[in-house]
C-alpha cells in the first residue's frame, strides 16, 4: 500500500500544479486588469504597476487552492476508476477509507500552504497594498488631508487637522458641516480615529466639543463630550489611510502588539477573534476538500453513473459547500461573537465525505438499492 500512496500522491501533485497554474493565471489576469485601470489611469509608472500586481498574487492564490485540489482529486479518482485500479484493491478487500488515505495526506499539504498564506503572506501583502494605495493617493492629489490646512470637500464640509500621530491618530481635528436646512454643525476633538463599523466607517472622537447652530432660532448649543462617534462617509476616501483593519496584521501580530493597536482604534476583541478563527477555518476546509472530491467521484462511479453525471454531482456538492461557506461567514460577520459559524463548512464537508465513503463500502448500500430499483442489478 505504500507504493499506492506514493503513486496517488505523485499524480495528485502533478494534476494540482496544472489545475492551479490555469486557475491562478485566470484569477491573476483579472487582478492585473483591475490594477492596470487604477494605476495607469492615474499615470503611475510601470514599476509601481508590477509591484502592485505582485502584492495581489496571494489574494488570487488562496481562493483557488481548494478548488484546484478538489478538481485534482476528483479527476484522478475518475481516471483510476477508468483504469480499474480501484477495482483491483477492492478485490483484495481494501476499504474505501484506506484508499482515501493519500488524498487525506494531499489535503494536509494543501492545508499547510493555505495556512501559511492566510496567516502570514496574505496579511503582509494586504498591508503593503494599503501602503501603496496611500502613496498613490498622496501623489495624485495634494488636497488629501494636509496637516495644518483647511480641506474643503464640498457639500459644506470643511476639515482641519493639526497633525497626524503614529498609528493613524489625528490630533486636534475640526469638522464643520453646513446642512441643507441652513443649519451648521461643528465638531472639535483632541484625538480622532477612523474606525470600520459593521455597516460603514465612522469617526471616533475623544475629548472634544460639539456645536449646533440653528438658523431658525438663531441659537447655538454646545456640548462637551469625552467620546463621540459620527459617521461621515464623505471623508472615507481621504481618511482611509488612518483606518486600521485586522486583515492587515499577521496572526503573530494579532496575538501580540497588533491586538493592542487595534483595540486602541476601536476594533473589538470579538472581531480579532473572528479573523483568527476565519484563517484557521480556511486551512481546515482546504484539508478536507480533496477528500470530498475523491469521495464524491468514488461513490458516484461505484453507483454506476456515467462520467458526465459523476462530474455534475461532484461539482454540485462542491458548489453546495461553498454556498454554505458564504452563508456561514456572513452569519459570523453579522455577530463576531458567533465565530464558530466559520467552521460549519468544514464540518459539513467532513460529514459528507464520511457518509459517501461509508455508503460506497456497504454491500447493501443505498447505491445498490437504487440500482436494483431501476433494474441495473
Give pLDDT tens digits for 153-204. 555 677 777 877 765 577 888 887 776 566 788 888 888 776 655 555 567 7
Q: What is the pLDDT of residue 347?
A: 93
Q: What is the pLDDT of residue 36?
A: 57
Give Rg (Cα) of the chain: 28
pLDDT at 235 over 50: no
Higher pLDDT residue, 298 or 214?
298
Please report whether residue 288 resides in a domain. Answer: yes
With a CB cutoff of 8 Å and minimum separation 6, the contacts of 289 are 66, 67, 69, 70, 73, 107, 110, 318, 321, 349
| 202, HSE (Cβ side, Cα atoms, 13 Å) | 13
- Find the range with the poorest average confidence among 86-90, 122-126, 151-155, 348-352: 151-155
Closest CA to 117 of 342, 261, 243, 280: 280
Higher pLDDT residue, 307 or 362?
307
73 and 222, same domain (yes or no): no
| 316, HSE (Cβ side, Cα atoms, 13 Å) | 7
pLDDT at 224 over 60: yes
230 and 296, same domain (yes or no): no
Average pLDDT over residues 249-267: 69
Residue 196 structural domain:
168-243
**Cell numbers at 58, concatenated:** 496571494
Q: Which helix (H) or strand (E) holds 139?
A: helix 122-140
211 and 275, same domain (yes or no): no
43 and 116, same domain (yes or no): yes
Average pLDDT over residues 286-297: 91
Give 215's pLDDT tier (boundaries 50, 70, 90): confident
Q: What is the pLDDT of residue 180?
A: 57
Please report whether residue 323 resides in a domain. Answer: yes
Please report whether residue 173 resides in a domain. Answer: yes
Higher pLDDT residue, 134 or 324?
324
43 and 84, same domain (yes or no): yes
- The number of domains in the chain is 2
Query: 0.75 exceeded by the pTM?
Result: no
57 and 106, same domain (yes or no): yes
Q: What is the pLDDT of residue 291?
A: 92
Average pLDDT over residues 268-296: 88
* Phi, psi for residue 335 in degrees, rounded to 5: -140, 105
pLDDT at 126 over 80: yes
pLDDT in tens, 307-338: 888 889 899 999 999 899 989 988 888 887 88
Closest CA to 230 of 248, 208, 215: 208
The distance from CA 170 to its chain's CA centroid, rounded to whole angstroms, is 29
43 and 97, same domain (yes or no): yes
102 and 204, same domain (yes or no): no
Structure letter (DSSP) for residue 154 = E
125 and 17, same domain (yes or no): yes
Q: What is the pLDDT of residue 349?
A: 92
Amino acid at each position: 500500500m505504500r507504493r499506492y500512496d506514493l503513486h496517488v500522491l505523485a499524480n495528485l501533485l502533478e494534476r494540482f500544479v496544472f489545475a492551479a497554474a490555469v486557475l491562478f493565471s485566470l484569477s491573476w489576469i483579472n487582478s492585473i486588469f483591475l490594477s492596470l485601470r487604477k494605476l495607469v489611469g492615474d499615470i503611475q509608472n510601470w514599476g509601481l504597476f508590477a509591484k502592485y500586481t505582485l502584492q495581489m498574487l496571494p489574494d488570487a492564490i488562496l481562493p483557488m487552492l481548494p478548488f484546484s485540489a478538489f478538481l485534482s482529486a476528483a479527476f484522478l479518482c475518475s481516471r483510476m476508476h477508468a483504469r480499474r485500479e480501484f477495482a483491483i484493491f477492492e478485490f483484495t478487500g481494501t476499504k474505501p477509507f484506506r484508499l482515501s488515505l493519500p488524498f487525506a495526506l494531499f489535503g494536509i499539504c494543501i492545508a499547510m500552504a493555505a495556512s501559511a498564506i492566510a496567516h502570514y503572506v496574505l496579511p503582509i501583502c494586504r498591508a503593503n497594498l494599503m501602503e501603496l494605495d496611500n502613496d498613490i493617493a498622496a501623489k495624485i492629489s495634494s488636497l488629501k488631508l494636509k496637516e495644518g490646512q483647511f480641506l474643503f470637500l464640498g457639500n459644506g464640509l470643511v476639515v482641519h487637522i493639526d497633525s497626524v500621530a503614529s498609528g493613524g491618530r489625528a490630533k486636534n481635528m475640526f469638522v464643520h458641516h453646513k446642512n441643507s436646512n441652513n443649519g451648521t454643525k461643528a465638531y472639535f476633538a483632541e484625538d480622532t480615529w477612523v474606525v470600520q463599523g459593521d455597516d460603514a466607517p465612522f469617526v471616533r472622537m475623544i475629548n472634544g466639543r460639539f456645536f449646533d447652530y440653528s438658523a431658525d432660532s438663531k441659537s447655538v448649543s454646545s456640548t462637551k463630550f469625552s467620546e463621540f462617534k459620527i459617521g461621515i462617509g464623505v471623508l472615507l476616501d481621504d481618511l482611509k489611510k488612518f483606518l486600521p483593519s485586522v486583515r492587515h496584521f499577521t496572526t503573530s501580530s494579532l496575538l501580540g502588539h497588533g491586538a493592542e493597536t487595534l483595540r486602541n482604534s476601536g476594533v473589538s476583541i470579538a472581531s480579532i477573534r473572528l479573523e483568527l478563527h476565519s484563517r484557521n477555518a480556511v486551512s481546515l476546509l482546504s484539508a478536507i476538500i480533496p477528500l470530498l472530491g475523491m469521495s464524491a467521484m468514488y461513490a458516484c462511479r461505484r453507483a454506476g453513473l456515467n462520467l458526465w453525471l459523476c462530474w455534475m454531482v461532484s461539482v454540485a456538492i462542491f458548489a453546495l459547500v461553498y454556498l454554505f461557506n458564504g452563508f456561514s461567514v456572513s452569519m459570523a460577520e453579522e455577530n463576531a461573537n458567533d465565530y464558530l459559524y466559520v467552521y460549519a463548512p468544514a464540518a459539513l464537508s467532513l460529514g459528507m465525505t464520511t457518509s459517501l465513503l461509508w455508503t460506497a463500502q456497504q454491500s447493501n448500500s443505498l447505491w445498490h438499492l437504487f440500482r436494483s430499483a431501476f433494474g441495473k442489478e
